[in-house]
Structure 1
Amino acid sequence: MTTVFFAAKVLKGSHWRIGNGSMGSIYKDRWLPCPSTFKPCSLPNIGDCASVNQLKSPSGGWDVDLIKSVFFQVDVDSILSIPPCSTLTNDVLVWHFDLYGRYTVKSGYWVGRSLLNGPSSSGLSNVESW
């Protein structure tokens, strides 16, 4: 039971770092750099199973016009903050709370503590204030 709980908490802090964008669904997978959900808040306008690579132009950059026409502004800003990457680079699952995307016991501990304790009196989570 503890292992399942721990694995679920680790997944809450992980998301896909986009390379070629083939990792899966725009709306179902965790890929945006926003720790609340790592998912778009916009309604599915492209299709539930559309993949991130469908948001890219043939040159490998983001299709800005398509993104602006389909997503809420908060999602547009989040998507466009992701640097475009080579079509040869695979998507990689990363830990959000480490500069290099690596999970460590220390960072997992602090995120776990913040999830248990909730927001601090400053309004910031323990992770943010740490």
Structure 2
Amino acid sequence: MKLSIEVHDVKTAHSADYQAGNYAMEAGHSDFDTATSTIHVSMRVRAGRFAVDEDNSEADNEEYEKQPVSIWVEVGGVFIVDTEEFPVEQIPHWAEFNAPLIIYPYVREQVYGLSTRVGIKPLLLPLLEIPSFRIVKK
């Protein structure tokens, strides 16, 4: 877990009409460890100066630089997979698309909690809409 916050403009960050600007959200995972039947998945959110990146457009980096708050929250999880119930070849797909949806509420809570603890207007990431689906065993 990594938590970091910098407040660059206290007055703006305390104002009633302050809302967080754009942010970068990334997720990644390890390879599946067959010896332990585990896979590590992490998600991070970066905003403000922490989101400046050479892969961004110049306009995006300029917007990030102007934000009154910079925040970096990274949360990870270790998932144990029952390979008798879940096909091993589907694990990377699950880790890329489904596991981040499990981790996201914890990232969201950490962003909110970190901003609250430093005394600025709380930053609240949006809820994610999860499509419904059903599992069909073959």
TM-score band w.r.t. shorter chain: under 0.3
Normalized against structure 1, the TM-score is what?
0.25
Query: Which protein has the larger Cα radius of gyration, Structure 1 or Structure 2?
Result: 2
Normalized per residue, the structure richer in strand is 2
